[in-house]
Chains A and B, each alone.
Chain A
Amino acid sequence: MGSDVPPPDTQPPLPASPGPVVAYAPDHRRRLHLATVLVAVVLAARSLSWAIAIALLFRFSGRSGGFIEVAIAGVGSLQVAFAAVRYSTTRFAIEPATSTAGPALVIESGLIFKKRRAVPVARIQNINISRDIAHRLFGVAEIKIETAAGADAEANLSALSLADAEALKSELLAHQQPRAAVVALPEGVEPLSSSPPLSPAAQPNTTVYAASMRDLLIAGATRTKIGAVIGGVLGAFYFLEDALGSALNRLLPGSPVKVVLQRIFNSNGSELLETILGGAALVLLALLAGWLLSIGSSLVQHWKFTLERSPDGKLTRRFGLLTVHDLAFPRKRLQRLTITAPVIQRKLGLCRVEARTAGSYLDKESAGTAMLYPIARADVLEALCAHVVDGFSPSQADWQKVSPIAVRRWALRNTVVLSIFLGAAAAWQSWWLLAGWPLLVLFAWFLARAEYRVTRYAIQGELVLFRDGVITRTTRVIPRRRVQVSRVTASPIQRYLGLANLKLSTAAELMGSDAEIPNLPRCVAEALQDRLARGQ
């Protein structure tokens, strides 16, 4: 494989294509680092670790797991082979600006299907250098370059030496900076030396925020990952029931967990107290595990978190213990700010702040949602957010409630949802549970009242603010110039009540996570929509 690729120093021009031919000097195009293949070996071993563990379990439980081992070997060697092809065929270069188009990053790759991709530098949203543990083993890095279009990173170069990656990043940023100047200058003419302030490297970055160990511990300890714990345990039981079950049986015959589980699932009412106690113990165990997992993941994910702001308004974040991220995005590309306070953090006056940019949404931490402050005290929140977005001051905003009639719709919705659950529980356990239905209606009403009390919106200068959440309080900040589409929607029940929702979509929301101000009086929703459109 790769035999048709000549050595790099005798690089011939590209195979003739009918398109515009770009003449490259032989040394013009760059390649990936040789460690690409070694990184792929480590990554393959890591991604297959689950399969390897299952294969080992099969071995220990004395069954034949031969097909798994064959599959592991096949998938692993395929991954490494692809990396080798990528290493031997990928070439990239920054193509200088022409009279009609700005500079572009051009990447060529592919063995059978040759691909030549040009990413206009002006359209680049994010440049993310990340270093997985595999990359750090070999002193290399991965660089991801994203524009607003599409689901995945537009250009993903893995692996480059760390120095090369940093150089590429600063080159791209430098091309992006004095945009007009680069486009206007003919090729080969040096920019005038009398414009040093344009150079982004001229002034040092200011550190806006650096998370201490204590911050990260608090951030982890005030959240819980109980969902992940329950999901993981259920998943493990589902997939490994046989192998795990026989191993458990041999190790702990009649283990207490198993007895409790049996009691809960085959309860006949005679051992009610034991069942309840056992269930409570299991819930406590899951809570504890979720809590520890949350602390651990907070430390690992946001280790040494720093947020820096450059003089030209670029925000750079560095963090991570295993995978080290280094992400930069321009302040003006911010699509949405989300301030989240789960119930415990809210009671302690804490919250976390995340940004959304118009990058890929599949790769959560690289762009879709970018953590800005893993933990922030509510009283310094405004000062912190001033570094990111102008004119945001939640304490001085003119917060408006939604329509009071909203309570009726929410109460109806809560009643329907809870009734379905009650019906299922009654069918499963005892029809006597249905006697509690009036209590349920009361609860649904109180919940609706609480929702009405916390749901607020405000318009503050160029920003739209929206807050909701009875338990986890979320505040979203959307610059109104970033709104791509706004929709006023009304379901039949809402039309009957004279209500409507106002939904604001920015370029960051592809998967329906738009900010939606629910249950406004319909005329208010339409007036607000028109006002936002006019404000642009």
Chain B
Amino acid sequence: MSEPQSPPTPPEVLATLEGPVVPRQMLAPQVLKLWFVSAGIWAAVVLIIGAVAEFFIWFNRSGPSPATIPLGVITAVAVVLLGGVPLLLVPLSYRKWSYAIRAKDVLIESGVIWRVRRSIPRLRVQHVDIKSGPLDRWMGVVQVDLHTAGSLGAVASIPGLAPAAAEELREALVGAGGEDTDGV
């Protein structure tokens, strides 16, 4: 496949593309802790609901009967899968998660079972949100959400950034829109 001759990029567009370039890297170690805590909370919620369900299965008015055994076992297995698997996936997905800010795009690789490699052209970024939930604030980090036109939610988010670094990133990405394009 031959490289096609693309029309020359106007100089003003090139000028807006200069910005900090961050090499490919993993997320901050706080994110691992953060994900463990939120997966743990989820597992606890599942466990409580499961325990209540088991209680009603075994200790109802008619008492335990052979017919309730499969139901009880299925519930127990479901609780272990629903609560335990996300907890087990946390270290794997942390290891598989990486991001890079390149000259012309933001590249994010993620996913344990389904691998996804996302590229968001810097010129197409419409707005950038910095947000921090209670757990983020406890860890002293923030999350950066990138929005482009035509998508309802954020197309990509980078968690676990220091507030100052997030601010810098936002400035770099939001400043990228040239007059050449209206972002759509």
Contact = CB atoms under 8 A, between A and B. Distances in A.
A335 B184 CA distance: 8
B22 to A, nearest CB: 15
Given A122-B182, A149-B149, A484-B124, A490 B114 contact: yes
A486 B155 CA distance: 10
A529 B121 contact: no
A483 interface: yes
Nearest to A525: B117
A362 to B, nearest CB: 13
Contacts of A485: 118-120, 124, 148, 151, 155-156
A339 interface: no
B119 A490 contact: no
A508 B150 CA distance: 6
Interface stretch (A82-90, A160-168, A281-289, A458-466): A458-466
A536 interface: yes
Contacts of B118: 485-487
A459 B182 CA distance: 24
Contact of B119 (A462, A482, A529): A529
A486 B116 CA distance: 10
Query: Which of under 10, 10 to 19, 20 to 34, or 35 or more describes the interface residues of B?
Result: 20 to 34
A57 B77 CA distance: 53
Interface string B86-129: 00000000000000001011010001011111111101100000
A333 interface: yes
B65 interface: no
Interface residues of A, number: 42
Nearest to B156: A485
A424 interface: no
Interface in A495-529: 495, 500, 505-510, 526, 529
Nearest to B3: A531
Contacts, number: 98
A484 B6 CA distance: 19
A491 B123 CA distance: 29
B60 interface: no
Interface in B1-60: 1-2, 4-7
B181 interface: yes
A486 B119 contact: yes
Contact of B6 (A125, A461, A508): A461
A240 B114 CA distance: 45
B67 interface: no
Residue of B111, B117, B184 most packed against chain A (CB within 10 A): B184
Nearest to B152: A510
Contacts of A214: none
Given A459-B1, A481-B181, A533-B104, A506 B150 contact: yes
A510 B115 contact: no
Nearest to A509: B150
A200 to B, nearest CB: 18
B44 to A, nearest CB: 29
Interface string A371-404: 0000000000000000000000000001010000
A536 B150 contact: no
Nearest to B13: A536
Contacts of A510: 150-152
A43 interface: no
A484 B124 CA distance: 6
Interface string A474-485: 000000011111
B4 A507 contact: no
B148 A507 contact: yes
Contacts of B102: 533
A483 to B, nearest CB: 7
A529 B121 CA distance: 11
Nearest to A527: B1
Contacts of B104: 533-534, 536
B4 A526 contact: no
A488 interface: yes
Contacts of B5: 461
A533 B149 contact: no
A349 B116 CA distance: 38
Contacts of B119: 485-487, 529-530, 532-533
B30 to A, nearest CB: 26
Contacts of B7: 461-462
A492 B121 contact: no
B120 A489 contact: no
B179 to A, nearest CB: 9
A148 interface: yes
Nearest to A530: B119
Nearest to A504: B119
Nearest to B6: A535
A152 to B, nearest CB: 13
A526 B117 CA distance: 8
A123 interface: yes
B116 to A, nearest CB: 5
A145 interface: no
A129 interface: no
Contacts of A487: 116-119
Interface in A139-153: 148-149
A358 interface: yes
Nearest to A486: B119
A335 B2 CA distance: 25
A462 B184 CA distance: 16
Interface string A219-238: 00000000000000000000
Given A485-B148, A487-B119, 5 more contacts: A148-B150, A484-B148, A490-B115, A505-B155, A536-B105
18 contacts: A148-B149, A358-B149, A459-B1, A485-B124, A486-B118, A487-B118, A489-B114, A489-B117, A491-B114, A492-B113, A505-B150, A505-B155, A507-B148, A510-B151, A526-B117, A530-B119, A533-B104, A536-B123
Those 9 A-B pairs whose CB atoms lie nearest each other, nearest first: A507-B150, A507-B149, A533-B105, A484-B148, A488-B117, A490-B115, A148-B184, A148-B149, A486-B119
